[in-house]
Amino acid sequence: MSLRILFTGEGTSDDGLVPHIETVAAAAGKPVSITSPDFGRLGFTSCHAVPEKLRKVREFGDDYDLIIVHRDADGTSASDRREEIAKAVAAEWPAHPHIAVVPVRMLEAWLLLDEASIRQVAENPNGRMKLSLPRGAAAEKIGDPKKLLKDTLATASGYTGRRLAGFQKRFPNHRHKLLERLDPYGPVSQLPSWQAFMDDLNTAIRAV
């Protein structure tokens, strides 16, 4: 019987984490069924806070073995964000196992470490433009990793004018592709926030 997992992120492009969850579960020998609601398409366009999202999902009447919530740390500490998520789950879905996925600052920091994937997603894999990407733990010290990723993709594409403008409008899709392509054992594995995600996920899946 498959483990039923609920995944909620900050936006639909966060669904790129779902294949990584499935991979960890497969390695543990546990088949999973992952639900990641698109609250906008469901008509809940103002549903942004974690408690609101959990409340809406409960209204659907489904039940889950594990809840996974992604929230960027942004300007707060990872421990504060984890506590915030734990309180939301306890209030809206008492006694349910959960894990918090909390990248330092923003999830985009995880995506800045794979130059080859960035060039591929930028539709110019053989480009030679200098990208000046951070290395290792420096990625989590970038003040605005989302802006850096968007600017880097634009540079790597080599596009200009209208073609560049159209390319930049597709940033959510590019972000999703980069997240799906992320090598969990590559450079991102050096980051404490990714290590915590993998450790928590492994522990939770084996315990459920």
6-36 pLDDT, tens digit each:
999 998 889 999 999 999 999 999 999 999 9
Range of 9-18, 49-58, 110-119 with top mean pLDDT:
110-119
Residue found by looking up tokens 């989590």 in the block: 140
Q: Which residues of 32-57 are buried (b: 16+ CB within 10 A; e: fewer)?
A: bebebbebeeeebeebeebbebbbbb
Q: What is the pLDDT of residue 82?
A: 96
Percent of the chain with pLDDT over 90: 82
Q: How confident is the model at residue 174 (pLDDT cuts 50, 70, 90)?
A: very high
Average pLDDT, integer, range 56-69: 91
Strand duo 32-35 + 3-8: pairing? parallel
**Mean pLDDT computed over 194-203:** 96
Task: Tell me which residue of 207, 208, 149 sits closest to 182, measured CA to CA.
Answer: 149
Please name the amino acid found at residue 69. V
Residue 44 has pLDDT above 80, yes or no: no
Mean pLDDT for 166-182 is 96
